[in-house]
Structure 1
Amino acid sequence: MRQTLPVPARLLALLLFFASPLLAAAQADCPLRITLLTCAPGAELYSTFGHTALRVQNVQTGEDRVYNYGTFEFGEDFYVKFVRGKLPYFLSIERYDDFIYQYQMESRSVWEQEVLLDCTRRAALLRALDENALPQNRQYRYDFLFDNCTTRAGDMILRQAPAPVTTARVIPEAADKAPTFRNLIHRYLDSGQQHWSKLGIDLLLGAKLDRRVTNREAQFLPEILLQGMTGARGADSLIVSAARPVLQLPRPADGGGIPRPGIVFGALLAVVTVLSFMPRRGVRGFIRAFDFLLFFSTGAVGVLLLFMWFGTDHQLCANNWNLLWALPTNLLAAPFVRRDSRPMHWYLGATIALNALALIGWIFLPQQLNTGFLPVVLLLLLRAWLIILKPHYHAPEADRT
């Protein structure tokens, strides 16, 4: 038996049928156009990972503005705040022409994805952006992984989308196949030939960077957010359009001509190894000075790692396993490392044990250590072993029998 709708329901359906073209026309006439801007990586370290911003155009008023969450002030205390993890970022608003000109000058491509939310939700998104831009709201504590210019722009769009909200898969579905935060960062540093910057990042950032990412967490990087947003859906409707190029420019030249850290430190290891077995007066003087510099510099690095762990707000600097070889105590031991005394030999023996542990556990530690430091660890092992067991190579000429 066929069922029929009650009269009120039929009237409502009829009204919706005739009103739908009007609603579609009103949607098409929405004066707001909002787009997600994704900017390609640049040549400098600060631009290696790219950038994200939101563009808002108003057809009625002719306004064309960019909301940029990646702004900070370069003041006298910039470096102090940066090192301590207290550098505030803020949301700024600038003209689109000014924004795009900067990327044109830096030879960095820009892609645009139009926000497909209805006009009401677009208006709500604009209100939220303007509220964020108020003097009392615009500042925030920057976090490279979880709260940066990219995550903020993406979150602002997704908050206005109808539930349930999903983004496209950008990493393998199996959790054990997912990359770590460090893996994702390495992709950009390797692509930009930033090998020394990679060495510094791997030195300063501890084991927390080696956690596997979730699909949403992986989108803290601009180009990966672009991929995730391309297939993002709210209530089974697309949230943004496919990306279209605004600027297509060749990538700026990188620093590929600079020797990699592994090559530089490896060459140093080879030279010092050869000189260590040449018992000549001039060579012995060089080796004596080198021993001081080696232990002093690794000790200074260790003190820096401890400071970054306990003396700053950088959470990613905690649990740093580089302290196995960069011993802070080396800083104090450096002036006495060549003394032929039992306490110093015990100390050098302890450094041998710790460096050997670091070397053996290089691939098993919960933190991915940079292979560029392997020659440094080998140097520490070599010099400590020779100081203890081969004193006749280093004793003054008059003391030799």
Structure 2
Amino acid sequence: SQVTQQEINLTPEEKGQLLKALQDNYANARVYRYNYFYNNCTTKARDIILKSVNGKIVYKNGIDKSVSFRDLIHGCNANYSWASFGNDLLLGFKADMQTTREEQQFLPDNLMRNFGQAKIVSADGSSRPLVKNTEIIVRGNDYAIAGKTKVTPQFVFITLLILIAAIVVAEFKTKKRFLWVDILLLLTSGLAGLILFVMLFSEHPTTSTNLQIFILCPLNLYWAIYIIKNKRNERKLRKAWTFLSIMLCIGLSGRLIQVYAEGMPLLALSLLLKNCCNLYATRKND
């Protein structure tokens, strides 16, 4: 990978302040709560530099406030669909909010670009560039950027939707219920939902409210056990399917508020289709 060096345009006094700030950080803040958006290795370095400058930092260009944290991450993993899927699955709707220039600087390239165009304005009105010199000190090797894999999350969930549709048709034709399919789906989605449930209590604010938990719901584990115990009681099963269908509808509507991971609406439709089939099959005993 390439390494670019920026020489910060500091006065001798500011260099002394920077050294003291680094020493204080080493003594008192070596251990801190890392946050990949708000308090990471890039923002920590930026804050120490800005604290050491005598004057105000003025950036040259405006900012696109419509860009969200999720948009910025998508720009970094566009060719890695499964990495993007994992990020989008764990990030809640707070990651879709507009970001400020300072928030966008959690990415090193953004901070480098902003610093390269910024100037220091002193109290007397004089100004000087924040960066004196920029040079590449290690050139990156040419390598092929990973291409998009054919087996994407979208492909997997389309396949699942087709498979569920085929199972539903088979159930209608044979007039049999494949409850093992429902139990498998509930166990799988419930176990995945446990991860989202744990993330709700994370100290990273952008994971604390995630509407995808209505699709990958940890309560599905309870309903899997409920169905196993009541597989001959159609009335009780209908209550279970009704509850699950309501949860999935809420999850699908959440797509209007939050950007979902690739294929998640298809997963919700697959589960909802199976539930609707079960509701129809148990209607006579309601």
Q: TM-score, normalised by structure 2?
A: 0.85
Range 261-270 or range 297-306, more displaced: 297-306
Structure 2 unaligned residues grouped into runs of 5+:
122-126
The residue number in structure 2 matching 1:14 is none
**Does the residue aligned with 1:352 lie in a helix, a strand or coil?**
helix
The letter of the residue matching 2:32 is Y
Contact 1:168 1:230 in 2 (8 A): no
Query: Does the residue aligned with 2:6 lie in a helix, a strand or coil?
Result: strand
Q: In 2 relative to 1, CA 170–141 (structure 1 residues): closer, same or farther, beyond 3 Å?
A: farther
Say which of 77, 94, 106 aligns to 1:189: 77
Following superposition, the deviation at residue 255 of structure 1 comes to: 6.2
Q: Shift in Å at residue 252 of structure 1?
A: 5.9
Amino acid at match of 2:136: P
Deviation readout 1:342-391 (Å, 9 max, x if unpaired): 232122112223322332442x22x2212321221011101111122136
Name structure 1 gaps, 5 residues minimum: 1-107, 393-401
Q: Is residue 180 of structure 2 the alignment partner of residue 289 of structure 1?
A: yes
The CA distance in 1 between the partners of 2:143 and 2:208, in whole Å, is 35
1:1-400 to 2 correspondences below 5 Å: 108-134=1-27, 136-169=28-61, 171-172=63-64, 175=65, 178-190=66-78, 193-235=79-121, 236-241=127-132, 243-249=134-140, 250-251=142-143, 253-254=145-146, 256-257=148-149, 259-279=151-171, 287-310=178-201, 312-337=202-227, 339=231, 340-362=233-255, 364-365=256-257, 367-390=258-281
Contact 1:169 1:215 in 2 (8 A): no
Distance across 1 between alignment mates of 2:278 and 2:146: 42
- Identity rate of aligned residues, in percent? 27
Q: Which has the higher strand share?
A: 1
In 1, the alpha carbon distance for the partners of 2:199 and 2:11 equals 46
Distance in 1 (CA, whole Å) between partners of 2:216 and 2:148 is 28
Give the conservation status (yes or no) of the 8 Å contact 2:238–2:282.
no
Higher normalized contact order (CA 8 Å, seq sep 6+, divided by chain length) = 2
Structure 1 counterpart SS, 2:223: helix
| Letter aligned with residue 388 of structure 1 | L
Tell me the alpha carbon deviations over residues 268-327 of structure 1, each in whole angstroms, 9 at most, x when there is no partner.
211221232125999x79x543321211122222232222213x4333221111122222
Q: How far does residue 169 in structure 1 lie from its aligned partner after superposition?
A: 3.5
Q: Which amino acid aligns with 1:122?
A: K
**SS at structure 2 position matched to 1:237:** strand
Largest Rg, 1 or 2 = 1
Q: How many pairs does the alignment contain?
A: 274
- Is the 1:204–1:305 Cα contact (8 Å) retained in structure 2? yes
Using the TM superposition, give the Cα deviation of residue 115 of structure 1 relative to its aligned residue in structure 2, in angstroms.
0.9
**CA distance, structure 1, for counterparts of residue 172 and residue 240 of structure 2:** 27
For residue 256 of structure 1, report the CA deviation from its aligned partner.
Answer: 3.1
What is the match of residue 124 of structure 2?
A: none
Q: Does the C-alpha gap of structure 1 residues 198 and 253 become closer, same or farther in structure 2, counting only changes over 3 Å?
A: same
Answer 1 or 2: which has greater helix percent: 2
Please give the alpha-carbon distance, in whole angstroms, between the structure 2 residues aligned to 1:301 and 1:200: 12
Determine the C-alpha separation between the residues in 1 that align with 2:166 and 2:198.
Answer: 36
TM-aligned CA deviation for residue 143 of structure 1: 0.9
